[in-house]
Amino acid sequence: MAKLGFLCDRSGDDAGPAAKRTAPDASRPPLAGRRVLRSRLWLLLPIGIVYGALAVVPLVLIVRFSLVGGLTQYREVLSSPLLAHIVENTVVISITTTVIAVLLGYLLAAALWRSGPRMRVLLLILVLLPFWTGVLVKNFAWAALLQDNGAINELLRIIGPSHEALPLLHNRLAVIIGMVHYVLPYAVFPIYTVMLSIDDRLERAAKSLGASAFSVAWLVIMPLTLPGVYAAGLLVFIISTGFFITPVILGGPSDMMVANLVDFYAHQLVDFNRAAALAVLIVMVISVLVFAYQRTPKEGQYGAV
Amino acid sequence: MARFKRRRYSRPSAPVSSARRPFRLPGNPLLLLACLPVLIYLLLPTLIIVPMALTKGQLIQFPPIWISVHSFADYFDDRQWIDSTIISLKVAALAVCIACVAGSAAAIGLHGKQFPGKAVVIGIILTPMVIPFVVLGLGDYLFFVHMPFIGRWVEIGLAHSVLVTPYVFITVQAALSGLNPLLVRSARSLGAGNASVLYHVYWPAIRPGIVAGAIFAFAVSFDEVVIALFLQSPNATTLPVRMFTSIEYELTPKIAAAASLLLCFATLALLAQAFLTHRKLSQRRLPKAVQSLP
């Protein structure tokens, strides 16, 4: 996840590269064709076609469907008590997930940063293996672990005296366990990159001035890693708000999130206009978040050498 | 020295990483100890998938009654599940092909270019990574309903191609970051045309990037559920969709067998990534003299 995109006006997708393609030719019309070829910007044509047909057109269609009957769809969606409840769910679950994931991610990033080359490779592999495991596989595994006769309940039965199975599956706790597990690698890497850019000399300077290990960590290192923490937090929050599968598999009926509501409108109520209106609202909120993410500085302010 | 100069040229943003910290060999034991539970939490689900598939019973249980491969036999005997797997493979193959062409062409097109809107163009290319799958799924559904019918798995493949193009773009761009733009100019000054520049200069440089990107793209498409769920039909149900619907119903070892298959692809993707980063992407392909260009 190097850099996330702008969610700016998607209709600019076709216009942007096309305008760029012709721009350098204006000065010398006779050679225009050859210069376009040489400038290599014609190579953006395939991606323009793919995105234009399969991303811009569907998004435009969503907007068109959402505007059937003016703004009534939006009014209905926004005024339904169901939405308020589900937005509350989404925000609470996402914020909890974000806080836990950033705390654990900070720990992992610090361990990665502080370990030698070999240990670092090992840790990276251990973090990346779950990263490449799909949501579905992970959630299935969690469901199997947390169910009433799953591994965790069986372990508790062996260790402790309690004979009743703890209800671990189909509740909010399970959703958060599953979501933190999915987003944790996304939290590690922004923090880790910022840590790598911290100047070693700062730490040595602080130590030479008599700072204890704790004050070095708290007063020198921690403030420098804050940009990474903000970036990781926003990124994790953006990802969390879009979760669809985890609430269905690990959550109960009351843990529905906004993505599930779109699906509910589309598939249960077969009301595509309302689903489209909700989708537009989601994209608007996500755009704001992505814009904020773009604004977060990517490297420590004083850390970059 | 020459080597050092080249790396500074090609990756100006990351001069800090390895060389500066030789004195921290063992790692901080306290930190590592604190990380241990987190690592167990991270790895536990991945580690139990295969053992779950190897249970003897008809339901997933603990402790599992080992060892039987009947779940895999069930999986391979079930026509529906095999059909779904084949559909998933076809979908992923189509998506990967389109993404490789579109993503790598775009990366070449932008290589070595500096123009005001470049960041915006890259931002737009990466956008599908942040749009929630549900939104794309709904849009694709509305789109394909209005189109002449071209076969459901083709539709899912096309929808996935947008989703996975950014992955190919990123890896090819990373591979190209090791390619000095001056090389293109010198090839041209020696009389190379567009086609030979593409074939002799760019193609060797982007090849590892395309391979890596294709593997990631395949992994992403092969376990994408939401879009495939929106576009599914009785004869175009991908493996993840089938797994998803059966998980809602019951947890059986057969699902664990299918999950092991998905896990296998994920591990391959990880190994490929490790292998390719180890080879520092494209750079080995170029002759020594070329590598040390300023």
Among the residue ranges A135-139, B23-27, B156-160, B183-187, the one predicted with the least confidence is B23-27
**Which chain B residues are within 8 Å of A143, Cβ to Cβ?**
247, 251
More confident residue, B37 or B270: B37
Cis peptide before B63 (omega within 30 of 0): yes
Reduce the DSSP state of residue B174 to 3 states and report it: helix
CB contact at 8 A, A162 and B269: no
**Which chain A residues are within 8 Å of B110, Cβ to Cβ?**
44
Task: Say yes or no to pLDDT of A22 above 90.
Answer: no
Q: How many CB atoms lie within 10 A of CB B265?
A: 19
What is the enclosing helix (H) or strand (E) of B139?
helix B133-145
- Nearest by CB: A144 against B52, B142, B161: B52
CB contact under 8 A, B135 and A262: yes
Q: How would residue A18 be classed by pLDDT, with cut points 50, 70 and 90?
A: very low
Query: What does the block give as tokens for B234?
Result: 């009785």
In chain A, the domains with their CATH numbers are: 1-66 (no CATH), 72-295 (1.10.3720.10)
| Rg of the Cα atoms in chain A | 24
Q: How would residue B264 be classed by pLDDT, with cut points 50, 70 and 90?
A: confident
Phi, psi dihedrals of residue B55, rounded to the nearest 5°: -75, 160
CB contact under 8 A, A133 and B165: no
CB contact under 8 A, B27 and A137: no
Reduce the DSSP state of residue B231 to 3 states and report it: helix
Interface of B with A in 197-226 (CB under 8 A): 219, 222-226
More confident residue, B11 or A276: A276
* Rounded Cα distance, A106 and B177, in Å: 29
Phi, psi dihedrals of residue B236, rounded to the nearest 5°: -135, 70
* Rounded Cα distance, B65 and B250, in Å: 19
**Which chain A residues are within 8 Å of B52, Cβ to Cβ?**
141, 144
B136/chain A closest Cα distance in angstroms: 7
CB contact under 8 A, A279 and B138: yes
**Which chain B residues are within 8 Å of A46, Cβ to Cβ?**
101-102, 105-106
The predicted model gives B190-200 an average pLDDT of 86
CB contact under 8 A, A4 and B39: no
Task: Say yes or no to pLDDT of B51 above 50.
Answer: yes
CB contact under 8 A, A276 and B248: no
Query: What does the block give as tokens for A279?
Result: 């989708």
Task: Say yes or no to pLDDT of A156 above 60.
Answer: yes
Task: Say yes or no to pLDDT of B149 above 80.
Answer: no
CB contact at 8 A, A69 and A274: no
CB contact under 8 A, A115 and B240: no
Q: How many CB atoms lie within 10 A of CB B10?
A: 18
* Rounded Cα distance, B191 and B188, in Å: 5
Summarised one tens digit per residue, pLDDT across range A56-77 is 999 999 999 999 888 888 998 8
Among the residue ranges B22-36, B88-102, B221-235, the one predicted with the least confidence is B22-36
DSSP tag of B15: S
Q: What type of residue sits at position A255?
A: D
Task: Say yes or no to pLDDT of A215 above 90.
Answer: no
More confident residue, B192 or B150: B192
CB contact at 8 A, A108 and B40: no
The predicted model gives A98-112 an average pLDDT of 94
The predicted model gives B226-241 an average pLDDT of 90
* Rounded Cα distance, B238 and B220, in Å: 13
> Mean pLDDT: which of A131-135, B70-74, B133-137 is highest?
B133-137
Task: Say yes or no to pLDDT of A279 above 60.
Answer: yes
Q: What is the pLDDT of residue A302?
A: 42
The predicted model gives A200-221 an average pLDDT of 86
CB contact under 8 A, A58 and B140: yes
**Which chain A residues are within 8 Å of B106, Cβ to Cβ?**
43-44, 46-47
Q: What is the pLDDT of residue A241?
A: 92
* Rounded Cα distance, A288 and A108, in Å: 29
Q: Say which residues have a Cβ less than 8 Å from residue B170's Cβ, sequence separation at least 6.
A: A2, B126, B213
The predicted model gives B112-139 an average pLDDT of 88
DSSP tag of B233: B
Q: What is the pLDDT of residue B27?
A: 60
- Nearest by CB: A136 against B106, B158, B225: B225
Interface of B with A in 76-135 (CB under 8 A): 98, 101-103, 105-106, 108-111, 113, 115, 117, 120-135
Q: What is the pLDDT of residue B212?
A: 85
**Which chain A residues are within 8 Å of B244, Cβ to Cβ?**
136, 245, 248-249
Average pLDDT value for chain B: 81
Cis peptide before A49 (omega within 30 of 0): no
> In terms of CA atoms, which chain B residue is nearest residue A35?
B194
The predicted model gives B108-112 an average pLDDT of 87
Using the Cβ of B72 and the Cβ atoms of chain A, whether some distance falls under 8 Å is answered with: no
- Per-residue b/e over A248-280, b at no fewer than 16 CB within 10 Å? bbbbeeebbbbbbbbbbbbeeeebbbbbbbbbb
**Which chain B residues are within 8 Å of A179, Cβ to Cβ?**
none
B40/chain A closest Cα distance in angstroms: 10
Among the residue ranges A24-33, A113-122, B51-60, B73-82, the one predicted with the least confidence is A24-33
The predicted model gives A88-107 an average pLDDT of 96
CB contact under 8 A, B129 and A138: no
* Rounded Cα distance, B292 and B9, in Å: 10
CB contact under 8 A, A12 and B230: no
Task: Say yes or no to pLDDT of A83 above 50.
Answer: yes
More confident residue, A33 or A226: A226
Interface of B with A in 236-255 (CB under 8 A): 240, 243-244, 247-248, 251, 255
Q: How would residue A4 be classed by pLDDT, with cut points 50, 70 and 90?
A: very low
Task: Say yes or no to pLDDT of A28 above 70.
Answer: no
Interface of B with A in 137-156 (CB under 8 A): 138-143, 146
The predicted model gives B118-122 an average pLDDT of 88
DSSP state letters, chain A: ---PPP---TTHHHHHHHHHHHGGGTT-GGGHHHHHHHH-GGGGHHHHHHHIIIIIHHHHHHHHHHTTTTTHHHHHHHH-HHHHHHHHHHHHHHHHHHHHHHHHHHHHHHHHHHS-HHHHHHHHHHHHHHHHS-HHHHHHHHHHHHSTTSHHHHHHHHHSS--SPP--SSSHHHHHHHHHHHHHHHHHHHHHHHHHTS-HHHHHHHHHTT--HHHIIIIIIHHHHHHHHHHHHHHHHHHHHT--HHHHHHS-GGG--HHHHHHIIIIIS--HHHHHHHHHHHHHHHHHHHHHHHHS-SS-TTT--
Q: What is the pLDDT of residue A38?
A: 63
Average pLDDT value for chain A: 82
Predicted TM-score (pTM) of the model is 0.81
CB contact at 8 A, B205 and B175: yes
Partners of B233 in the beta sheet? B236
- Nearest CA among A10, A195, A33 for reference residue A115: A195
Task: Say yes or no to pLDDT of A298 above 80.
Answer: no
* Rounded Cα distance, B75 and B66, in Å: 18
In chain B, the domains with their CATH numbers are: 73-291 (1.10.3720.10)
> In terms of CA atoms, which chain B residue is nearest residue A148?
B61
Q: What is the pLDDT of residue A247?
A: 94
> In terms of CA atoms, which chain B residue is nearest residue A293?
B130
Q: What is the pLDDT of residue A36?
A: 61
**Which chain B residues are within 8 Å of A288, Cβ to Cβ?**
none
Q: How would residue A23 be classed by pLDDT, with cut points 50, 70 and 90?
A: very low
Summarised one tens digit per residue, pLDDT across range A238-265 is 999 999 999 999 998 889 999 999 999 9
Q: What is the pLDDT of residue A31?
A: 54
Task: Say yes or no to pLDDT of A7 above 60.
Answer: no
Among the residue ranges B1-15, B115-129, B153-167, B222-236, the one predicted with the least confidence is B1-15
Task: Say yes or no to pLDDT of B19 above 50.
Answer: no
More confident residue, A102 or B56: A102
CB contact under 8 A, B243 and A140: yes
User: Which residue shows structure tokens 């654990």?
Assistant: A104
CB contact under 8 A, A13 and B35: no
Q: How would residue B63 be classed by pLDDT, with cut points 50, 70 and 90?
A: low
